[in-house]
Structure 1
Amino acid sequence: MTSTLAPRRRERPAVGSYLFLIVLTLAFLAPVVWALLSAFKPAPSIISAPLTFDPSTFTLANFTAMFEDVPIGRGFFNTGIVLVTKGTITLFFAPLAAYAFAKYSFVGKNLIFGAVLITLMLPTIVLIVPLLLEMKLLGWVNTYQALILPGAVDAFAIFWMRQVIAAVPDELLDAARVDGCGEFGIFTRIVLPVIRPGLAGLAVLTIMNIYNDFVWPVIVASSERMATLQVVLSTLAQNITGNRIGADYATVTGELLAASSVALVPLLVLFIALQRHFINGILAGSVKG
């Protein structure tokens, strides 16, 4: 007597789940869409009719005035230098440190790794005064070194990559050693291709953190010459009123929205382009096979 098992039906998500996700998506996107649309409205209309948008009133006046009043180009330039340099340091050294913690055995490994993790619990405000005093002693205040080096290899990046590298089979590494491959060659030829999704996810997070960083840059690089994008945005209203006599609240608001829209576009494009890699990076190392 034989029996056949009916194929298991794939459960479909309930309609309520779809509705909840749609409402949640709209709640997150509504402020962003409003800011982008309002940036193209005449300044008085932003205040008098904030929830409406008339395509016939489309204007670039807010953007034109903003570029004249605010040194946002300098902010983008400084942020770009910090982003490229600091991001490169993070994505090079963090996986190397994580590889040592994940695949090597040495005296005090767990103690050192625990000390690294403890730094994750320290609030940023606790580290600001010691770091600022250190930058002053080195003569690095208002320099790129001060913006780039502190926190270039942070504990989260090491922890993230250690979890990803721990899932790499040891047999692959042993086979490479038998073939005569050196340790750094094993890392570059064997480990890096395997952990590429996790590295891409770390890259997205690193770019977002550096791009949005405000507290440390506003303290250590207070001069206009070294101001990053977020620092420029924080002083934007002051710059507008200082450069334009009689600038009213509507004018300031319009230029603020224009500057925020310009600052938002790079991150939005980056996330849309790399969202698949980001999701794969989040899942990397979560399942062992």
Structure 2
Amino acid sequence: MNDKRPGVVTYLLLGALSLLFLYPIWWAVSSSFKPAAEIISDPLGFGLGRATLDGYRAMLADVPIGTGFANTALVLAIKGGMTMFFCPLAGYAFAKFHFPGKNLLFGLVLLTLMLPTLVLIIPLLLEMSALGWVNTYQALILPGSIDAFSIFWMRQIIAAVPDELMDAGRVDGAGEFGVYRRIILPIIRPGLAGLAVLTMMNVYNDFVWPVVAVNDERHQTLQVVLSTLAQNITGNRIGADFATVWSELLAASSIAMIPLLVVFVLLQRHFINGILAGSVKG
């Protein structure tokens, strides 16, 4: 039998590629602990003896990053919860039920995937304005909370669940929602985990819609706060130089990376299993 396990060269190559991809993160985090002047004078050097938290202290004083985190957490909790509740239900309906116009309706859902996000911004903004929702949490949460990709992905995963399992549940007296809750959900947990990670990444990194729908500081999400960080620093501190701006920018970016890194590390196995579960149809 041929041994097809990866060899030493493969591991060395993968290790080198990993270091290549991780270096920008290491540089950003390590530079955030440098004195501001050294970021410009010695951008590639780093010494633990010169490490300082001055950049973080100044950033927390100049930038409302706490407000950005709080707003992003609120939007993520509600919008992510709506995505995780309604999209699997819609996928279940498209995968396992037969009703008039199902294929046409599903085709219309898929058709929305072909529309660029920028095409939808003006109509959505006009709709939010007509409802009086500009500069509100409703404008940040409701648009896109039930999206075509999540429905399509859940439909592909649920379609692979054998109908015999569902029939057995119905014979035991379970209703349709009972079949979904007791049979479908336990089977598609890897797909749900993958959807949860993707949803968090999309909501956490979303910038275009929040910057259009909200223009007051009280409702700004983290990405909008980061986009205006340099302006906030120079506005709050007279005579702030280029090095100071970079020091606080790297400090804020390092803090902003933490949630996504933690979630991906903790859910990496479930995320990969979820991606694989949605890649084929049994």
Give the TM-score category using the shorter length.
over 0.9
Corresponding position of 2:75:
82
1:180 aligns with 2:135: no
Q: Are residues 1:229 and 2:225 paired?
A: no
Which of residues 95, 98, 113 in structure 2 aligns to 1:102?
95
Amino acid at match of 1:18: Y
Q: SS where residue 219 of structure 2 aligns?
A: coil
**Partner Cα distance (1:285, 1:86) in 2:** 22
Contact 1:197 1:277 (8 Å CA) reproduced: yes
**What are the ranges of 5 or more consecutive residues in structure 1 without an aligned counterpart?**
1-7
Aligned counterpart, 2:62? 69
C-alpha deviation, 1:17, in angstroms: 3.2
1:165 aligns with 2:179: no
Q: Match of 2:32?
A: 39
Query: In the alignment, is the contact (CA less than 8 A) between 2:159 and 2:281 conserved in 1?
Result: no
Q: Read off the aligned partner of 2:257 and give its amino acid letter.
A: L
Alpha-carbon deviation of 1:198? 0.3
Q: RMSD across aligned C-alpha pairs, in angstroms?
A: 1.2
Match of 1:21 in 2: 14
Matched to 1:43, the amino acid is A
Unaligned runs of 5+ in 2: none
CA distance in 2, matches of 1:141, 1:109: 34
Contact 1:165–1:285 (CA under 8 A) maintained in structure 2: no
What SS does structure 2 have at the residue aligned with 1:45? helix
Find the aligned partners of 1:74 and 1:43 in 2 and give their Cα distance.
25
Classify 1:122/1:288 alpha carbon distance in 2 versus 1 (closer, same or farther; 3 Å): closer
Q: CA deviation at 1:9?
A: 2.6
Provide closer, same or farther for how the CA distance between residues 237 and 288 of structure 1 changes in structure 2, counting only shifts above 3 A: closer
Please say which of residues 163-172 and 85-94 is displaced more in the overlay.
163-172
Distance 1:200 1:251 in 2: 40
Identical pairs, percent: 70
**1:123-148 alpha-carbon deviations (Å, 9 max, x no partner):** 10000000000000000000000000
What is the aligned residue count?
282
Is 2:78–2:141's contact at 8 Å kept on the other side of the alignment?
yes
Q: CA deviation at 1:20?
A: 3.2
The Cα of 1:115 is off from its aligned counterpart by 1.0
Q: Which residue of 2 aligns with 1:194?
A: 187
Q: Could you tell me the TM-score, scaled by structure 2's length?
A: 0.97
Structure number with larger C-alpha Rg: 1
Q: Which amino acid aligns with 1:251?
A: T
1:239 aligns with 2:244: no
Task: Name the amino acid aligned to 2:208.
Answer: V
Matching of residue 120 in structure 1 with residue 117 in structure 2:
no
Q: Equivalents in 2 of 1:21, 1:118: separation in Å?
A: 38
Q: Following the alignment from structure 1 to structure 2, what is the Cα–Cα distance between the partners of residues 193 and 12?
A: 33
TM-score, normalised via structure 1 length: 0.95
Structure 1 moving runs of 4+ over 3 Å: 14-17, 285-289
Question: Contact 2:30–2:46 at 8 Å: present in 1 too?
Answer: yes
Displacement of 1:16 in angstroms is 4.3
Moved more, 202-211 or 275-284: 275-284
Q: CA deviation at 1:107?
A: 1.3
